[in-house]
Amino acid sequence: MKFFLDSAKVDEIRYAREMWAIDGVTSNPRHIKTSGKPFLAAVEDLATLGREFGEDFAISVEVNPHHTTAEAMVEEGERIWNMCPTNFVVKLPCTEAGYKALQIFGEKDIPCNMTLCFSAVQALQAGRLGARFISPFIGWKEANGEEVEHFIEEIVTIYDNFDFATEILVAAVRNGRQIAEAAAAGADIVTAGFDVYKESFEHPYTPVGLKRFADAWDATPYK
Ligand code: E4P
């Protein structure tokens, strides 16, 4: 199971790499905005981190969400990808134009992450067309009152049935419970924000237990 960080902030990514051994980064236009930098400067920072962390560290960068044609997505996506071809993955929406762009990127051997996936059939299409990652957004579906466990299990079954190499990157993850459920359902990767990981790796009982054990330790002669 791989953990990606949903962020474009250099300090968060460095911390998460050093402390939690995260395996990659997913950025989107909202994360780039939160980084406080212009688009190209933020993407250049991500490229620098990618070169530093090695080629296994996948970094998704999304094309301009205003694009409505595959040609525009490919033109921009290729320019972005060329800023760090060893690490960058072009993020495209699960739309008709996005799927067409995915096919063109496939001919160029440029890896893509299909984002904003809300149905198993969208994931099926991404798998058929050779996406590197599919990003089902479970947090948004759950907030909309939809169930998500069966959603991920269904994508896992479909990908197993047809031997797709596309990795299932569960996105918009809001808490540790969802991380565990994605892992149990057979997802390959989760991506979550800094605070979600920070809270998930702790539990209120752990410090309570440590205090109990520390009291016992103090009340016991060492020799
Ligand atoms: C991941 O690739 C997505 O950009 C991300 O998970 C979106 O999640 P959000 O709703 O937390 O922004």
Candidate of 137, 142, 173, 197 to mutate for ligand 1, largest count of ligand atoms within 8 Å of Cβ: 137
- Amino acid code (one letter) for 49: L
Active site residue 141: no
| Residue closest by Cα to atom 5 of ligand 1 | 172
Q: Which of 2, 9, 37, 91 is catalytic?
A: 91
Angle between helices 120-128 and 149-162 (to 10 degrees): 30
Distance CA(191)–CA(178), nearest Å, equals: 11
Low-confidence ranges of the chain (pLDDT < 50): none
Domain 2-218: give its CATH code. 3.20.20.70
What confidence score (pLDDT) does residue 191 get? 98
Ligand 1 neighbour 28 (Cβ under 6 A): yes
Distance CA(30)–CA(5), nearest Å, equals: 14
* pLDDT tens-digit series, residues 52-110: 999 999 999 999 999 999 999 999 999 999 999 999 999 999 999 999 999 999 999 99
Closest ligand 1 atom to residue 169 Cα is: 2
What confidence score (pLDDT) does residue 176 get? 97
Residues paired with 67 in a beta bridge: none
Closest ligand 1 atom to residue 137 Cα is: 6
**Dist. CA 105 → ligand 1 center (Å):** 22
CA torsion angle 161 162 167 172 (round to 10): -60
**Dist. CA 106 → ligand 1 center (Å):** 24
pTM given for the model = 0.96
Q: What DSSP assignment string belongs to the chain? A: -EEEEE---HHHHHHHHHHH---EEE--HHHHHHHTS-HHHHHHHHHHHHHHH-TTSEEEEEPPTT--SHHHHHHHHHHHHTT-TTTEEEEEESSHHHHHHHHHHHHTT--EEEEEE-SHHHHHHHHHTT-SEEEEBHHHHHHTT---HHHHHHHHHHHHHHT---EEEEEEE-SHHHHHHHHHHT-SEEEE-HHHHHHHT--THHHHHHHHHHHHHHTS---
| Residue closest by Cα to atom 1 of ligand 1 | 171
Closest ligand 1 atom to residue 173 Cα is: 6
Longest alpha-carbon distance in the chain: 75
Contact 13, 32 (CB under 8 A): no
| Residue closest by Cα to atom 10 of ligand 1 | 172
Q: Which of 179, 103, 172 has the alpha carbon at shortest distance from 142?
A: 172
